[in-house]
Structure 1
């Protein structure tokens, strides 16, 4: 007679990385939309009234923004996930990896814009800390899914 038992070590239908990608897609898109519409867009329009159509929101900008968000979600999930496999996974490590992703994306972006006189210190003072929080939370999401998977398998 064969006994069927439940094996709690079976694999999930969704890998931790894909689950983190999905969660980060939702988190980062919400964060980006909030930051842009509430802070960056009005501040950029106020700082550069002489530029026609500064910080617009139309179809072509939306399409480019979609590409930006896709690359950002992949970067914010992939870099910390790879670093966790290579250097170890903990909440502290996730914060460091999120900070690294933030520096690689947002610090370079905003410093470049500032260097070309296309951003003000006021915009940087708002955009950079908010982007840091966004990237750290994205790395913590990746860590959480990776940790839950290890606990489930153990």
Structure 2
């Protein structure tokens, strides 16, 4: 798990200084402060950092609680629609692993894919983890939707 806010994906020195200025130096402090939507909005006003960016950092901090989720896997999980531990715990490890393989073949997001046993461990940890946020921290930016249809046959 990452500990310092400077280690959060997408965090630069300007943003880190703003967070430090309001007393947030550790990832756990960010999770605690942003455990509610009101906390995120308070932080947005106190730091002038955009809410969507704060939510991305909170999501990163949330997933970083899982042992074995390395920094390189965040973009892979995010591309599969997994932004929080709450979303991770609802996935079937075997399906998630095969989706990771397929996506990485297409987009080359990581050099080394996690093993199936590691993905199983992530889901188990997420299931046993006490939720730190009281809301669903999904970025408000639009994500591309996959088109699908169902063909009925008799």
Q: Give the TM-score of the pair, scaled to structure 2.
A: 0.30
- The structure with the largest helix share of the pair is 1
Structure having greater relative contact order (Cα 8 Å, sep ≥ 6): 1
Structure showing greater radius of gyration is: 1
